[in-house]
Amino acid sequence: MEIPELNAMFLFRRRPVALPADLRPSWRIGLILLLLKVCCRRGRSTLTRLHALSWGIRAEQTRSALLAVVTGSLAHNGDVIVRFDPALNRAVDFALGEQLIRRCGGSRIELAPKGDALATALEAAEEAYQTEKIFMREIKQKFTEGLVDQLFSRSN
C-alpha cells in the first residue's frame, strides 16, 4: 500500500532531557557551599560527613532521620542507611576546579575565599534554598565528625 504522506524524509531530533534540579552542578555546588558554611566548623568537613549531610537534607524522610541522629532520639532498633551519591563527588570535583573549595590535609575539604563569598551571598538571598536553610539552622553544627563515625560503625 502506498501512503503518499510517508514519502517524506524522516528527521529524528533528540529533545533535551528534563533533569531534576538536585542533579545540576549549580544546585549541588550551592548546597555544598551552604553546608560547609552553616553546618561545619571553620568551613571544614570530611567527604563522608558531606555525603551524610547532603543525603540527609534532600527529602522529608531523610531530614527527620538525620535530625533524630543529631538529637539522639533515634530509636534503639532504628537503622539509618546513608546513601552515597556519586553525583556529590562530581559536584565536589567541580567546586574544587572552580576553586570554591580546596583540599585541606589529607581527607578534608574547606571553603576557599571565593566559595566563602558565594556562600555568604547565598545565605543572604532569601528566596534561595529556603527549605534547606531552615533545616541547616535546625541542626546547626551539631552533626559532628564523631557522630558520623558512630553512624557508620553502627550500620556496619
As measured in angstroms, the least distance from the Cβ of 15 to other proteins is 8
The whole-angstrom separation of Cα 129 and Cα 132 is 5
Task: Say whether 111 sits in a helix, a strand or coil.
Answer: strand
As measured in angstroms, the least distance from the Cβ of 65 to other proteins is 17
Which amino acid would we find at residue 122? L
Q: Are strands 108-111 and 44-46 parallel, antiparallel or unpaired?
A: antiparallel
As measured in angstroms, the least distance from the Cβ of 38 to other proteins is 15
67 vs 94, beta carbon nearer other proteins: 94
- Residues in contact with other proteins by CB under 8 A are 14-30, 86-88, 90-91, 94, 97-100, 114, 117-118, 121-122, 125, 127-132
As measured in angstroms, the least distance from the Cβ of 8 to other proteins is 24
Specify whether the CB–CB gap between 107 and 49 falls below 8 A.
no
78 vs 117, beta carbon nearer other proteins: 117
CB atoms within 10 A of CB 65: 19
93 vs 138, beta carbon nearer other proteins: 93
Which residue in 23, 90, 98 sits closest to 50, CA to CA? 90
The whole-angstrom separation of Cα 143 and Cα 122 is 21
53 vs 91, beta carbon nearer other proteins: 91
8 vs 17, beta carbon nearer other proteins: 17
Handedness of CA 90, 28, 37, 117 (dihedral sign): positive
As measured in angstroms, the least distance from the Cβ of 18 to other proteins is 5
